[in-house]
Structure 1
């Protein structure tokens, strides 16, 4: 074979290998915000939070995200906030009527609460028949879990699972408590801590996915509609992009093959879809990363966000 021909074939082989390698290494995630319209009586009021959050989304060119919404909060200012999110092109979805803890209620009570939320939510623009269980608790008995699986299927609802878990809500609670107590907050340090904590958990669950699924799936990131989200979502996204992550629309993420996965395990406390898959394949420890530990978060917040200002 001619030397030039061999060189061309080698180059093509190398290019193909690089292409398939980069494809396998591609990482993507969709962003979802739970508990909307969440209470807003601290750093921001509701209208300001919505304005800042929409601006942050647009400024950083994020694709369509989903707001999992609580029915009994979807009135007055809260309803106006949800309409703003929908009019900005984002999805409104179902998150129960009273943020009910399924572990503490019967199947019939949970279904009744679910149905109370529908008239409050399904008339809003961009409503999708997606349901996310509050606290990710899908039923602590087989009867409850399987009953809700059947009910959601009959109603035509997707179980809007997550793959990337974190405790952003706890960091928010520490921030709001500091504001209420008129403590000096180092906002630059808060931004850094927010980004680091969430990326720690994202990378942990992605590595778990690669180990137990054999690939990095189209991930679904759980966040909440909160003030720190409005402040720092863009910083988080830019940090992720620097690490090679791509943000995708939520609809695209829910077309991953793992959307149809159903664990046989009854989880009282659900670690998310990747945790389910890992458990079903033999993993028994480490389904929750240390960045989801309240003691760990509080220590870092007090040391890094408040500690530097105690003089």
Structure 2
């Protein structure tokens, strides 16, 4: 299988394969207004300002997904959501408190979605906020849960925010806070290297999978998180993608592609809307994940 994938990868990454269309990414930011640990002296407002500045300078629309419970847990983070809207960027539903559907009943999970809605209505006004990003990307531990929640989403005019690109950016924010607290600059440099290398390798993997499935690029949906290290790295991350030939687009525009149809219309029978899931469904080889996050767990302990 590894040999077969190598042949597919070689074809997919050839110049001829990429000649037709410029690939595009829709960048999405989960866990607003407060994600993970902060380094000493850094505020949530500063993190959001850096993320929004980098997004504006790169021309990368920044769809944010909120857990409104954080306005209560960290009141100082509350301005973040207003800042996001003032910057002209949209917000969607990541549930009230980021619980995993696998540990809830459908009714409990739906209540989590609904409890988040007043904040979204107030922030988004007449604009479309009915996008759900599942916490932990989990649609539950049973088919029954998955279908029950999807039926509710369809009845309430929600779309599901898919993910077709992501390199575990969330895992960098805790060690970054630890390393900053210790003033360990070599370790921070190591985090930066791993972050950019992981993003590059994941982008290559996503493109190879798309080309194996379709012979071309689909619009990709990138999962990111609103953390302090993400903010530090956002300008370099966007430049990395641009240097690799990517442009940026909105979530709604990206998910017009037929690959995302059953997430945009969740009342339909669900089909795989991850690239590796689609490959498995077709009996095609799935490339190994090139990103190893385990070294981050012990950094600056």
Counterpart in 2 of 1:218?
219
Moved more, 164-173 or 88-97: 164-173
Corresponding residue of 2:278: 277
Deviations 1:131-187 (A, max 9, x none): 010010012211100111111111101011110022111122221222234434554
Count of aligned pairs between the two proteins:
275
Deviation at 1:226, TM superposition (A): 0.8
TM-score (norm 1): 0.79
Shift of 1:230: 1.1
Name the structure 1 match of 2:93.
94
Q: Distance in 1 between matches of 2:286 and 2:297?
A: 23
- Pairing of 1:226-237 with structure 2 (within 5 A): 226-237=227-238
RMSD: 2.6
Change (3 A) 1:41 1:22: closer
The separation in 2 between residues aligned to 1:202 and 1:101, in whole angstroms, is 27
SS at match of 2:239: helix
Equivalent in the alignment of 2:107: 108
Distance 1:191 1:115, change over 3 A: same
Note closer, same or farther for the CA distance 1:284–1:137 as it changes in structure 2 (3 Å cut).
Answer: farther
What TM-score results when the alignment is normalised by the length of structure 2?
A: 0.82
Q: Which residue of 1 aligns with 2:20?
A: 24
Query: Does the alignment pair 1:35 with 2:31?
Result: yes
| Cα distance in 1 between the residues matched to 2:140 and 2:36 | 30
> Is contact 1:74-1:82 (8 Å) kept?
no
1:107-135 per-position Cα deviation (integer Å, ceiling 9, x unaligned): 11111111111112221135521001001
Match in the other structure for 1:121: 120
Aligned counterpart, 1:3: none
Runs of 4 or more consecutive aligned structure 1 residues displaced over 6 Å after TM superposition: 262-266
SS of the equivalent of 2:20 reads helix
- 5+ residue gaps, structure 1, are 1-19, 307-311
Q: CA deviation at 1:294?
A: 2.6
Instruction: Specify the structure having the higher radius of gyration (Cα).
Output: 1
Question: CA–CA distance in 2 between the matches of 1:157 and 1:103?
Answer: 20
Structure 2, unaligned runs of 5 or more:
1-15
Shift of 1:64: 1.9
**Structure with greater contact order relative to length (CA < 8 Å, sep ≥ 6):** 2
Alpha carbons 2:162, 2:274 under 8 Å: kept: yes
